[in-house]
Amino acid sequence: MQERYSRQVLFDSIGEKGQEKLGQKHVCIIGAGALGTGNAEILARAGVGRLTIVDRDYVEESNLQRQQLYTEKDAKARMPKAIAAKDRLNQVNSSVTIHAEIQDVTVEEMERLAQGVDLIIDATDNFDIRFIINDVAQKFNIPWIYGGCVSSYGLSFTVIPGETPCLNCLLQTVPLGGATCDTIGVIAPVVQMVVSYQTAEALKILVEDWSSLRKKLVSFDLWDNEHVSIGVERMKNSDCPSCGDHPTYPYLSYEQQTKTAVLCGRDAVQIRPPKKMARDLDALERILESQNGEVNRNPFLVSFANGDHRMVFFKDGRVLIHGVNDISEAKSLYHKIVG
């Protein structure tokens, strides 16, 4: 027995056998914000064989209050979160293979990412992507674990294809609007609580202790001291287009995703070109340098600050525009620079 996992192996429900299983498993974590970094650190320390971490964003100062893998250095350098997370996780447990991907997860990407994966952890900040994860998980028969939090409130649910209801059974439609960490903030303890629920379920799934899964939808408010756990088995719908008897996977069959999105946690809009592209950052840097503003560059992105706005251009074509909440205003700023 490896000394580093000794306490976990002593825990009866994992044991030597469970530890061996963990080392053979591959988990895909979508999002490397608060929930993503928390999940990734626990799973890496637990000795999960492979982790894939996907995120579209880069580290900012306002992340450091709750996104546990990042440092001031990462924020100063505006390191892409996937890369900063990978660097830190390699120091935490060098025996875990970490795949880091800097990108926005589309239907196409999600279908690719799901291949050969034993579990998908939802650490995203929006329901557009969660409904895609939900359909991909059903299509390829992969468990996934929903987590969400805002303010002092959080919740989690584990979706096991063929067993539990899916997100589409529970919600039927993508909820729009609602409170975000942009509008009402979030505290770190609630992040940790959601992460604890997610990773406990993840460990059960990875060691194949299926009968110990929670099965209930759980929610809590750590400030108002509320805790709710409800059985939703009966919400499993045999007519559900995602998990029913005749699934059509509605969120995969056509591009439901918005090409622009207001980002949770900041005053910013993301614009994504319809087709994936490789942006020539050198050429862009030269163009921006001729403009009236401040240009910063690292190997992954170029940022351009002008008045109240800051635009960050990624290699894959995406642009983040800070200082705006209005999509059309963001688009016009974008088109002013890139035509």
- C-beta closer to Zn ion: residue 163 or 221: 163
243 binds, among Zn ion, another protein, none (CB under 5 to 8 A by kind): Zn ion
Q: Does 150 bind another protein (CB under 8 A)?
A: yes
265 binds, among Zn ion, another protein, none (CB under 5 to 8 A by kind): another protein
Helices 281-289 and 327-338, interaxial angle, to 10°? 90
Neighbours of 37 (CB within 10 A): 28
- C-beta closer to Zn ion: residue 68 or 138: 138
- C-beta closer to another protein: residue 123 or 320: 123
Q: Does 169 bind Zn ion (CB under 5 A)?
A: yes
Of 208, 183, 181, 121, the residue nearest 156 (C-alpha): 121
Chain positions 229 to 248 lying near Zn ion, rule: CB under 5 A, are 240, 242-243
Chain positions 99 to 128 lying near another protein, rule: CB under 8 A, are 122-127
- C-beta closer to another protein: residue 86 or 130: 130
- C-beta closer to another protein: residue 170 or 205: 170
Question: What type of residue sits at position 116?
Answer: G
The piece of 47-55, 201-209, 227-235, 243-251 that touches another protein (CB under 8 A) is: 227-235
Pairing of strands 50-55, 26-30: parallel
281 binds, among Zn ion, another protein, none (CB under 5 to 8 A by kind): none
Provide the terminal-to-terminal Cα distance of the chain, rounded to the nearest Å: 60
For residue 196, count CB atoms less than 10 angstroms from its CB and return exposed for 0-12, middle for 13-18, buried for 19 or more: middle
Q: How many residues bind another protein (CB under 8 A)?
A: 42
- Using left for φ > 0, alpha for ψ between -120 and 50, and beta otherwise, residue 217 falls in beta
6 binds, among another protein, Zn ion, none (CB under 5 to 8 A by kind): none
Task: Write out the DSSP string of 116-169.
Answer: T-SEEEE--S-HHHHHHHHHHHHHTT--EEEEEEEBTEEEEEEE-TTTS--HHH
Neighbours of 286 (CB within 10 A): 11
Residues found near another protein in the complex (CB under 8 A): 31, 33-36, 122-127, 147-150, 153-155, 170-173, 175-176, 178-181, 186, 194, 217, 219, 221, 226-228, 230, 232, 234-235, 264-265
